[in-house]
Amino acid sequence: MTTLCIAFVIYSATVYTTGTAATSASPMSAEARHGQELFQDKNCIACHQFYGLGGYMGPDLTNVISKRGEAYSGAFIAAGTVSMPNFNLDTDEVSALVAYLAFVDQTGTYPPEEYKIEWNGNVSQVDDPR
């Protein structure tokens, strides 16, 4: 039991540090931070996902900026659609959200586009930023 608990502590510390260290991504700007707060205040995650994690009513947003562009995403957020609510955000708030989505976008690719499936069932991702 003690061994297991010590292993857990060491393991957790590794996960918190080198296991999840930023690689190429640039640091979060103040505007993106504001966008992150808005994203949480409006609970966008109830309908959307990052890296496939979240609610399933709307599409994954990990790479929406590189796939659809900032203008498109901003317009979507500002106006909503039948199935996505209009949050009545002002232009600063919309651009903060877009900045946050752009911050997320550069952290990786989801779903992976270039990958190899290995014999043992593992997946090695060529487009993994690591």
The binding site for ligand HEM (CB under 6 A) comprises 53, 55-57
Which of 106, 93, 110 lies closest to 48 in space, CA to CA? 110
Sequence-ordered list of residues with C-beta below 8 angstroms from that of 118, at least 6 positions apart, any chain: 124
Among 31, 34, 49, 89, binds other proteins (CB under 8 A): 49
**Nearest distance from C-beta of residue 77 to ligand HEC, angstroms:** 5
**Nearest distance from C-beta of residue 125 to ligand HEC, angstroms:** 21
Q: What DSSP designation does 20 have?
A: G
Is residue 100 classed exposed, middle or buried when 0-12, 13-18 and 19+ CB atoms within 10 A define those classes? buried
Distance CA 130, CA 108 (A): 9
**Nearest distance from C-beta of residue 74 to ligand HEC, angstroms:** 8
Name the site residues for other proteins (rule: CB under 8 A).
4, 7-8, 11-12, 15-16, 18-23, 25, 27-28, 33, 36, 39-47, 49-60, 67, 82-83, 85, 103-104, 107-108, 110-112, 115, 117-118, 121-125, 128-130
